[in-house]
Amino acid sequence: MSNVETNRARTLRRILVCLFVVCGYMLSTTFAYAYIQTSEGAEPELISMTALNLAFGSMNADHPVYRNTFFGVLYMVIPLIGFFFMFFDKKSNLKNLVGICCGVIGCLAIALPIGFNDELAPGVGALTSVLVYVFITMLSAISVFVKLEDNAKMRKEGSVPLLDGKL
């Protein structure tokens, strides 16, 4: 018998695919960061930046926000990696481990620039994405155990689904 995806695992996988799409949207098109621009003699002005602005904006090294160009690219790559693993990997448990890693790395990638740059503040997209990444990490951890339980049930029925050593 082939390794068939059960209804519980399929539902969790589809939810995780949707969450990665939401997370990518929140960081790429809504406000990932806000920073306070101060100029001499003028009032401080709050300016919002998206991940697209950070990644493809001006490469002005003098401005403190554009020093985070690497993070702008990272904000778009992490949800893509998680999306493609969740969407295409239907049989192995590797997608759940990648989901856990993407959630943890995503939270760290959002928090690190704020910790090292006193002019940055988290925006609406960053705060929402942190919550979504925490939810993704929890659901991916639950999916690991659902997949292990389904495999144990299949072994008990007489078929061995994981002869190749995958989780």
Q: What per-residue confidence (pLDDT) applies to 77? A: 87
Range of the domain at 56: 7-152
Q: Is residue 157 part of a domain?
A: no
Global pTM reads 0.77
Strand, coil or helix: what is 75?
Answer: helix
| Total of domains in the chain | 1
Q: Is residue 160 part of a domain?
A: no
Tokens of 73: 């690219």
Q: Is residue 73 part of a domain?
A: yes
Q: Is residue 77 part of a domain?
A: yes
Q: What does DSSP assign to residue 67? A: G
CB-based burial label for 88 (10 Å; 0-12, 13-18, 19+) = exposed
The total of other beta-carbon atoms located within 10 Å of residue 116's CB is: 11
Q: Is residue 38 part of a domain?
A: yes
Tokens of 105: 């790395």
Q: Is residue 159 part of a domain?
A: no
Strand, coil or helix: what is 34?
Answer: strand
121 near 36, Cβ under 8 Å?
yes
Beta bridge partners of 124: none
Q: What per-residue confidence (pLDDT) applies to 137? A: 93
**CATH value at residue 43:** 1.20.140
Q: Is residue 33 part of a domain?
A: yes
Span 92-133, pLDDT tens digits: 888 889 999 999 998 888 888 777 666 667 777 778 888 989
Length of the chain: 167
Which of the residue ranges 67-71, 98-102, 133-137 would you say has the lowest mean pLDDT?
Answer: 67-71
- How far apart, in whole angstroms, are the C-alpha atoms of residue 106 and residue 113? 12
- How far apart, in whole angstroms, are the C-alpha atoms of residue 105 and residue 80? 13
Listed in order, strand segments (DSSP E) in the chain are 33-37, 45-49, 120-122
Q: Is residue 133 part of a domain?
A: yes
